[in-house]
Structure 1
Amino acid sequence: MSASARSSPPQGRAPGVSLQLLEVRAFWEHYASIALRPFWPAAPLGDGHPILVLPGLVAGDASTLVLRRFLRSRGFSPRGWGQGVNCGLREGVLQRAHDTLRELCAQHGRAVSIVGWSLGGLYARELAKHSPDMVRLVITLGSPFTGHPRETNAWRLYEFASGHRIDSHDFHGLLRSPPPVPTTSIWSRTDGVVSWQCSVETRRELAENIVVDSSHFGLGAHPASLYAIADRLAQPEGEWRPFHRRNWRQFVYCDPGKLIATRASRQPSTAVGG
């Protein structure tokens, strides 16, 4: 990373104490999805293609268990990342994730969709950039791929878990470029860990934002997230269309356009998402 990028201060703020306290919702969001299991069949049915699911910081495959069980129930073939606890971008992490991607692609004879939660979403985008021919779709959940690394409440934890400074890798600049595959960013304006502005996808084509009312730690299990994920993954390969908010969906999913426009009007000199 260049010296100027490292020294540039954050343009926004990490979520405040009130939003951090609201993260206790995560327990309810996980259990709500489990309680609603009889209604899982209402979500779109998949075509059996493989899904690589990547966990967030200091989390492992256990954190994505509800998500993977849901995806399997809807006819997909999900797989955890199999690297234990995600302690940040340590040596070999992305290479091992790429090996798993290659293995799934060869095993199923089809392109793989990748769902990445928080830090896992950053990995997902990088994998898709490196091997777009192997990746069908990328879905990120509260992933801070724009903005400054310190516009989150997890940067100190990242430095502790990984053993290096959060700006020691050239993620700050590289992550702004989107992967050349369909990309969905799911985020919450009441996220208590990652500032939602850091998760806004600004690319015009083959990309979209879906907003749910969720905690950060509940994003991967919130009923609204699960439905949206299934809806995106169920699209026929090569026939991607943006998520619509018509009918009942307008009462569940906030309008990202209005949120982004409001943010831009408050900061006219700064483009949202960089």
Structure 2
Amino acid sequence: MCILCLYYSPDEGDYLLIAADNRDEVFERPTAQADFWRDHSTVLAGRDLQVPNGGTWFGVTVDGRFSVLTNFRQDPKDINPNAESRGHLVSDYLTGKTSPLDYCKQIDGQKFNGFSLITADLCGKGGVAYRSNYDPSGSRLLGPGVYGLSNSTLDSPWHKVKRGKETFADIVKSPDSNLTDRLLKLLSDDTSCWPDPAIPSAGIPEEFGRNASAIFVNPCAVPKGTYGTRTQTILTVTRGGLVSYTERTFSIETSQWNTISHTFQLCLQ
């Protein structure tokens, strides 16, 4: 079960935005590591290669568009195998021009299985918006602060979300030259938070639930090397528009991490 910790501060401090994200996924799903896309050269993101015109789960652009997605934990009987790919929600935002809130509002949630989506405009005045097709409050702008998201709605009371937010908040209060390493350490916390009464139990075997309740889902434990935390991504954007993007991807074959980093300057308005 994925997790995102997000810090947004439009008016004060050294950083405009800091994001730390774990993507938990089956290892057989073909995925490209983060890079600037050939067909959309302003987009820096990983890519899902399983669907046509593959979407993504986390990305940023050189003109300051940012988006991240998590799937919503649904009862297996409620999942529509013919639904549209949720990864296109991120890629369509990154390659478009619509403002964060307007984009969230125009999504037809019935076309997709459960999702939670964050969109942001880091160069203009669009701010940061949130939408989930399982959240009855609808689309909304987010104010300054620290947020946590797993496979539920924003700031749900899941133990791993609360644990992640608390540690993340302490880190972003005192950012230093080791910020990325400190955030990667947070994302690698494999302490189990099971049992967790806030997580829907339908269809979750106890062993899987125990491991997946941790911030870091050990790929070698659940279930036996087929699923786990495949990708960890750290994004920092300074007040002056300097972007640092670090992604590391776990190889189940070698049990090693492959790390890439990109740094570039946004053109702030």
Normalising to structure 1: TM-score of the pair?
Answer: 0.29
Bigger proportion of residues as strand: 2
Bigger proportion of residues as helix: 1
